[in-house]
Amino acid sequence: MANRLRFRTARDLFGACPAIARDMKATPTDQPSIEFCRALLAGRVPEEAITFCAYLLPERAGVWWAHECLSNLAELLGDNDLELLALVHDWVGEPGNPDHRAAVAQAVEMPPATPVSWIALAAGWRDSNQAIDQAATGFPPAHAVNAGILAGLARVSLADRFAVLSAFVEMGIEMAEMEAQQQAADAY
């Protein structure tokens, strides 16, 4: 299964997405991507496993993963974030829908200040027809996915944080594996 991932090794991912080096300090290895991610989770800075997953996932899947992570923190989010979460949900379901595109475009006009506003920004960056210029920012949507999840995680109590972080990483790994399975099925 690991051989079918978009990026077979951590080094492959770092080579394809140089922006990841600005978001994390870990040195890439030739370890399979999933093993590398789990090693990050068990390492000194487990938050880097979130970062790695954000870049490992295809962009739309990454936005959905972030949506799912932050949905699990709904009680820690404000009303504006809950409204944005609904917009992101609709956009992921139908990214080509002009109404959803317009809603995301309107949502990202403000600088990201909350966990879900980062996720909405990722959706806007991913959508090439949006007015957001990814090239001008120098960061791919994975950067915003990472920022949103980590901002949400920062709201979790210290006593619960590692358990929540671990659950988010495992969810990201499962999504990466499902994406790999889907790509393999589509290839047949």
CA 140 to chain centre: 10
CA pair distance 98, 84, nearest whole angstrom: 17
Q: Give the model's confidence band at 75: pLDDT under 50 very low, under 70 low, under 90 confident, else very high.
A: very high
More confident residue, 58 or 106: 58
Domain around 149: 2-187
In this predicted structure, the answer to whether residue 135 has a pLDDT above a threshold of 70 is no
Query: Is pLDDT at 178 greater than 50 in this prediction?
Result: yes
Percent of the chain with pLDDT over 90: 56
Q: Predicted confidence band at 187 (pLDDT cuts at 50, 70, 90)? A: low
Beta-carbon count within 10 A of 122 CB: 32
Helices (H) and strands (E) in the chain, counts: 11, 0
Q: What is the pLDDT of residue 90?
A: 87
Helix (H, G, I), strand (E, B) or coil at 26: coil
- Residue 156's Cα: distance from chain center in Å? 18
- Give the pLDDT score at 122: 85
Domains of the chain: total = 1
